[in-house]
Copies of this chain bind each other. A is one copy, B any other.
């Protein structure tokens, strides 16, 4: 496999799974040309006039959709670890004797480890999509036939929109749907919240199958997925395990170190002047991100400040901000707990968004760059503010990119990280896998201090008189290395064998994930 050094100095292949690739050219340096993907023109003549697209079962739908060897089949991950549909789908595909499927999920979870047997027997050729847990491990060990392609949520939309990935059949599991194919995620026994990750699939796939366990009379509204894009509807008994789709409650971290990080972030937003009337922020659903919200709320209350919008993944903590008048809107891409789902369903100011609105880099702007501050995590950062979110320092691919890369475009990107995990330092000389160039990362907050990217002179100036422990990143690293008894061991990687690539938001190749030697 031929590798070249890209503009970030990382070795990347120029061809992946038979498709030519463009190496990363630098932040905002790649200009796309050409035209968006063009789905075939359909006609009402070929669809039931009464709008009833129900077929007997998923196998029938796949047959009608013309499934055959080598096709690309997509699924979404709104059900997270509670997904029943994807495993069922591949059981059927296997039973039908279909081979060499390119599986194009928006993400995979531990529940999908059932699919390892289909990766082994050739039912699935390879995965293009985030791999959380077992499938990532399988891939890391060099066992997948093809090469994995990791994309951000926005990058997935971009890849389909731009025609890099043509989806033959999209299978969209929907908590509620009607016979016409209109579908929503905000209600039904397996309610998950938004369905935005499946939007691009519904718009561009040749054939679209909606699978639901909660069929309602036309019209199912909201129609997060529009029936006008759907070919077949399948009713099954249960699409997922609600307890694993959303948690009944999401919990704030109890770790004193992480609470300190959360408090620092809240103070930073105030001291840097970001927390002001009409501001906006995005925070994930990790314990630290959750913990930061109540701290910030106290400060907003004290200063009588109201946000214009906050961005989810939503949780009860964001819902509280909305209900108590601390923000006009939640712009939500996914929902992590039941209170988030309820709020999305019932509060008109809790708004469903999608990778198209929020993250697609090949659009006429997107929401991510409008956000004043994004609070994100990382598995590793390096002294140049570069960050990794997909591999651990042992080289194993265990996480997806999610919206992380897209959020780096916020006006102030803050990484909240403990300085070490399991006695392994998180600040390294060079990240194992580059997911986000340091150029876009403004602040790193650890329990030992806050490092501001030297490029952001404005931020450095803004917090000059703050009581926050603003420190040099290298200094923090040195301290942590000494506490942990030295730098972390280098992962044992086979640099001849690329097992996956990390795409940048513009479709270029930012880095390679290499095979881990298992001895």
Tell me, yes or no, whether A18 is within 8 Å of chain B by CB.
Answer: no
A158 nearest in chain B by CB position: B41
Q: List 12 A-B contacts (CB under 8 A).
A: A32-B43, A35-B41, A36-B40, A38-B38, A41-B161, A44-B362, A50-B369, A51-B367, A53-B365, A208-B364, A219-B309, A219-B351
Other A-B pairs, 13, CB within 8 Å; known A42-B363, A49-B365 = A28-B45, A31-B43, A32-B42, A43-B362, A53-B365, A180-B370, A217-B308, A218-B370, A219-B309, A219-B331, A227-B357, A228-B360, A228-B366
A43 touches B351 (CB 8 A): no
B48 touches A365 (CB 8 A): yes
Identify A362's interface contact among B42, B361, B367, CB under 8 A: B42
A41 touches B369 (CB 8 A): no
B360 touches A329 (CB 8 A): no
A230 touches B44 (CB 8 A): no
How far is A364 from B53 in the complex, measured between Cα atoms in Å? 10
B308 touches A363 (CB 8 A): no
Binary interface encoding of chain A residues 333-362 relative to chain B, with 1 for a CB under 8 A from any of its CBs, else 0:
000000000000000110100001100111
Q: How far is the CB of A64 from chain B (nearest CB, A)?
A: 13
Q: How far is the CB of A232 from chain B (nearest CB, A)?
A: 10
Tell me, yes or no, whether A453 is within 8 Å of chain B by CB.
Answer: no
Q: How many residues on chain A are close to B (CB under 8 Å)?
A: 62
Q: How far is the CB of A169 from chain B (nearest CB, A)?
A: 14
Q: How far is the CB of A29 from chain B (nearest CB, A)?
A: 8
Q: How far is the CB of A478 from chain B (nearest CB, A)?
A: 35
How far is A314 from B155 in the complex, measured between Cα atoms in Å? 40
A36 touches B39 (CB 8 A): yes
Binary interface encoding of chain A residues 145-169 relative to chain B, with 1 for a CB under 8 A from any of its CBs, else 0:
0000000000000000110000000
Binary interface encoding of chain A residues 389-404 relative to chain B, with 1 for a CB under 8 A from any of its CBs, else 0:
0000000000000000
Tell me, yes or no, whether A506 is within 8 Å of chain B by CB.
Answer: yes
A230 touches B364 (CB 8 A): yes
B365 touches A409 (CB 8 A): no
A351 touches B53 (CB 8 A): no
Tell me, yes or no, whether A231 is within 8 Å of chain B by CB.
Answer: yes
Within 8 Å CB of A351, what residues of B? Answer: 219, 221
How far is A162 from B30 in the complex, measured between Cα atoms in Å? 30
Tell me, yes or no, whether A181 is within 8 Å of chain B by CB.
Answer: yes
Within 8 Å CB of A43, what residues of B? Answer: 30-32, 361-362, 506
10 closest A-B pairs (Cβ-Cβ)? A47-B365, A35-B38, A51-B370, A38-B38, A32-B41, A49-B369, A228-B363, A28-B45, A36-B38, A44-B361
Binary interface encoding of chain A residues 442-478 relative to chain B, with 1 for a CB under 8 A from any of its CBs, else 0:
0000000000000000000000000000000000000
Q: How far is the CB of A142 from chain B (nearest CB, A)?
A: 34
Tell me, yes or no, whether A248 is within 8 Å of chain B by CB.
Answer: no
Tell me, yes or no, whether A413 is within 8 Å of chain B by CB.
Answer: no
A370 touches B221 (CB 8 A): no
Within 8 Å CB of A357, what residues of B? Answer: 223, 226-228
B47 touches A227 (CB 8 A): no
Within 8 Å CB of A362, what residues of B? Answer: 41-44
Known: A219-B309, A219-B329. A44 touches B162 (CB 8 A): no
Tell me, yes or no, whether A37 is within 8 Å of chain B by CB.
Answer: yes
